[in-house]
Structures are given as C-alpha cells and as structure tokens.
C-alpha cells in the first residue's frame, strides 16, 4: 500500500485515435528508425534525449521536468496479443480488458463498484466530457458525466427558487422507485437520481478553486483543469476519466504537424495539471495514466502512419517511480508483426494491475481478468 494517508486517486486520460509511440518516445540511435521514417523522422538535434538510445519528441519538452524528478514512468511496447487494427475494437479492448469476447463492462466501472459497492458517493467516478466512455460503463454504477462543470444542474430554467425546489422534490419522488418497464428504464431512473445528487455537490467545486495555471483549452486541457477543481473540493472522487476528442490522434496524414500539436497539447496540459495540483497542495495522492488504444505502423506512408499495435503509455505522479518500463520493441524487420507493426512485449493489463494493486490497493484479478505480471512504477 501507499504511504499517503489520503485515499489514492487515479486519473486516466485516453489519447484517442492511436498515438504514434515511435515518434513520441523515439529510438533515435537506431538506424532502422531513419529507414522507417523517411518523411516523419524527427531530426536528431531536436530530440530530447532520455538516455543514449531513446528521446522524447520535442513537443513533449514540458514533461521532461517530471522525468528528471523521477516522477514520470514510460511504458514502452505496451499492447495485447493479436492487436486489433480497428480503433473501436481496440478502444473497447482497453476499456473492457476483454480481447476475446465482446465486453460491455468497463474496467474503471468495476473499479468504482469495488471502491463504492453501496453507491454511497455518486461522485466516486467522474467523467469529463459528453457521453459515457465504455471504460466507465457498468450496470448499476453511477458515474457523473460532466460536459460543463460551471453549469451542471437539473431544471435550471425554473428561476423561482420555491418553484424549482418543488419541481425537484417531485422529480425525486417520480424517480425514487427504480422500477420501470425494464433494464433501460431502471437505468434512466437511477441515472436521474444520481444526476440530481451529483449536480448539487459538484456545483460547489468551482467556488473552492483558485487556479493560476494556464491550460491549453480545447482538447484535454479544460477537463484536466476540471479534474483539479473537483479533486480540490474533496468530494471523494477516486477515479477521473477524460478523453481527447474525436479519434484525434489518428494521424494517417500530415502527421508531422498534427502529432506535434497534439503532443504539445498533452505535455503542456500535463505540466499545468501537475503544477496546479502542487499549487493547491493536493498532488500527493493522484496518479495519472495517459494511454492510446494502439501505436502506429513502423513505416510511415509518406505523410502519416497507419494503424499499428505496440505503443507507449505514460504514468505520472508524486508517488510514481519514474523510468522506463517494458522494453522498446525491436525494430528489426524480422521482429515486426505481420504488416510491419511493432510487437508489444507487455500487456496493458500489467499496467492496469500495477495501478490497481500497488496504487489503489485493490485486487486486480476480477477487474482486469486474471493475474498479470506487475511493473514497479508505483
């Protein structure tokens, strides 16, 4: 277990679309890298070296500080067997931990259920963004899904307070008996009750926050700031989730500019997030995972890269033991998977298991399905 006395909190950020791991953490001393990336290779002098063989994409510069502090773990060669090249299938697999069957339960949904089996706190799991990501989906587990933290509430058009209170009372009674005409209606009713409770509590968060950090708004920045606001308010949230929009890391074309902007967005927002947590004195019990559903093909296609398999993930936090985990996949042509993809050498479920057992203090077996060798990054 961890040394902190406060409950451990896990923040997860999905870099949706398949981030090109090979151009994020770059094997710059390997001549094969230049062979595979005639168009997209990053000039050596721009790469930020981590050691004699690997370096960061220049846009990830703001994260180098945390590497130097020993608080950034880089998981290389992460993936799963027979990687699916379909975004949706692969996202689903990362979300459900079920590569062989079609899972509908999300791993973080299971985590929230484990942490709060009696639904004592409707804010144990909070998603930022519209729509509920599969990673958090689980029957009977309330997840607050917040599109806009500053105006979150029910029947807000009723201006007279007395009238609104009466209407909310009636709403509560109508939604109270969670007996509808079936599972979907039961789900809607319990969601309604949870929404009403969650909205009341979440509404207090922005007023308690004194933010000074600048985030790059647009992709993940605003929602990462919202995470800090809610964490700062001490509402008992243990799992935060957000996702970069719209398959945005799907850089089939014009990757040089596209990925550079995307990584810049990630790195600067992670830096702001960490600094913001530190500024509020609440950084010690948060660990953040950033992942993508797959890496991209070794060989570039002249403008971008196509879907691949083995990729890279990042774990960052005060309690994280920084360094490299997993192995960098071999770039030798004979070692590539069919179709020219980097072969993964550690399963994403090992990373999940590490976070669950060593950080959250949970039994990972029922959550990720089976026993997976753990890393030592936390």
The residues near 88 (Cβ < 8 Å, ≥ 6 apart) are none
Helix axis angle for 61-68 and 255-279, nearest 10°, is 50
Say whether residue 157 binds another protein (CB under 8 A).
yes
CA distance 95 to 146: 19
Q: Site for another protein (CB under 8 A): which residue of 10, 24, 48, 143? A: 143
Q: Site for another protein (CB under 8 A): which residue of 4, 7, 46, 130? A: 130
Say whether residue 164 binds another protein (CB under 8 A).
no
Say whether residue 170 binds another protein (CB under 8 A).
yes
Distance of CA 37 to the CA centre of its chain: 28
Say whether residue 179 binds another protein (CB under 8 A).
yes
End-to-end CA distance of the chain: 10
- Residue 63 or 111 with smaller CB distance to another protein: 111
Say whether residue 301 binds another protein (CB under 8 A).
yes
Say whether residue 339 binds another protein (CB under 8 A).
yes
Element (H, E) at 265: helix 255-279
Say whether residue 18 binds another protein (CB under 8 A).
no
Say whether residue 127 binds another protein (CB under 8 A).
yes
Q: Site for another protein (CB under 8 A): which residue of 2, 61, 199, 275? A: 199
- For 274, phi then psi, to 5°, come to -65, -45
Q: Site for another protein (CB under 8 A): which residue of 31, 43, 177, 334? A: 177
Say whether residue 140 binds another protein (CB under 8 A).
no
For residues 111 and 360, the answer to whether their CB atoms sit within 8 Å is yes
Instruction: Count residues near another protein (CB under 8 A).
Output: 64
CA distance 271 to 292: 19
Among the listed ranges 80-88, 229-237, 274-282, 324-332, the one in contact with another protein (CB under 8 A) is 80-88
Q: Site for another protein (CB under 8 A): which residue of 64, 65, 164, 252? A: 252
Say whether residue 304 binds another protein (CB under 8 A).
yes
SS3 223: helix
For residues 378 and 317, the answer to whether their CB atoms sit within 8 Å is yes
- Residue 68 or 185 with smaller CB distance to another protein: 185
Q: Which positions from 22 through 61 interact with another protein, judged by CB under 8 A?
A: none
For residues 202 and 248, the answer to whether their CB atoms sit within 8 Å is no
- Residue 16 or 346 with smaller CB distance to another protein: 16
CA distance 121 to 118: 8
DSSP sequence for 92-147: HHHHHS-SSS---S-HHHHHHHHH-TT---TTSEEEESSS--GGG--TT---EEES
Q: Site for another protein (CB under 8 A): which residue of 32, 58, 61, 171? A: 171
Token output for 12: 């997860």
Among the listed ranges 221-229, 230-238, 243-251, 311-319, the one in contact with another protein (CB under 8 A) is 243-251
Say whether residue 145 binds another protein (CB under 8 A).
yes
Cβ of 262: how many Cβ atoms within 10 Å? 24
DSSP sequence for 186-216: HHHHHHHHHHHHHHHHHTTHHHH--------
Q: Site for another protein (CB under 8 A): which residue of 175, 215, 273, 377? A: 175
Say whether residue 138 binds another protein (CB under 8 A).
no
Rg, Å, the chain Cα set? 21
Say whether residue 221 binds another protein (CB under 8 A).
no
Q: Site for another protein (CB under 8 A): which residue of 6, 35, 46, 188? A: 188
- Residue 231 or 296 with smaller CB distance to another protein: 296
The residues that touch another protein, with contacts defined as CB under 8 A, are 16, 85-89, 92, 101-102, 122, 127, 130-132, 137, 142-147, 152-157, 166-167, 170-171, 173-175, 177, 179-182, 184-185, 187-189, 191-192, 194-195, 198-199, 245-248, 252-253, 301-304, 306-307, 338-339
């Amino acid at each position: 277990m961890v040394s902190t006395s406060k409950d451990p909190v896990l923040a997860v950020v999905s870099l949706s679309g398949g981030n090109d791991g090979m151009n994020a953490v770059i094997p710059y001393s390997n001549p094969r890298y230049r062979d595979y990336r005639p168009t997209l290779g990053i000039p050596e002098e721009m790469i930020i070296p981590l050691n004699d063989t690997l370096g960061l994409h220049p846009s990830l510069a703001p994260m180098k500080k945390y590497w130097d502090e020993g608080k950034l773990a880089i998981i290389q060669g992460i993936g799963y067997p027979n990687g699916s090249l379909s975004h949706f299938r692969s996202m689903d697999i990362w979300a459900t931990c079920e590569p062989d069957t079609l899972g509908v339960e999300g791993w973080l949904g299971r985590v929230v259920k484990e942490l709060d089996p009696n639904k004592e706190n409707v804010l144990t799991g909070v998603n930022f963004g519209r729509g509920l990501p599969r990673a958090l989906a689980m029957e009977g587990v309330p997840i607050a899904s917040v599109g806009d933290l500053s105006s979150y509430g029910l029947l807000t058009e009723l201006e007279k307070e007395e009238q609104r209170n009466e209407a909310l009372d009636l709403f509560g009674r109508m939604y109270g008996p969670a007996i509808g005409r079936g599972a979907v209606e039961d789900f809607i009713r319990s969601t309604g009750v949870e929404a009403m409770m969650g909205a009341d509590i979440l509404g207090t968060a922005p007023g308690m926050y004194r933010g000074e950090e600048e985030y790059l708004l647009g992709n993940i920045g605003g929602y990462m700031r919202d995470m800090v606001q809610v964490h700062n308010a001490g509402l008992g949230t243990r799992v935060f989730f957000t996702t970069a929009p719209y398959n945005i890391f799907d850089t089939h074309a014009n990757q040089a500019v596209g990925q550079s902007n995307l990584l810049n967005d990630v790195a600067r927002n992670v830096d702001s997030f960490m600094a913001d947590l530190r500024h509020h004195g609440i950084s010690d019990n948060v660990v953040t995972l950033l992942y993508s559903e797959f890496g991209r093909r070794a060989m570039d296609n002249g403008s971008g890269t196509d879907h691949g398999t083995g990729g890279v993930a990042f774990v960052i936090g005060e309690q994280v033991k920084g360094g490299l985990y997993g192995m960098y996949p071999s770039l030798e042509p004979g070692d590539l998977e069919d179709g020219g993809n980097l072969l993964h050498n550690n399963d994403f479920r090992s990373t999940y298991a590490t976070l669950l057992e060593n950080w959250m203090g949970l039994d990972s077996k029922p959550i990720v399905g089976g026993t997976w060798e753990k890393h030592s990054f936390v």
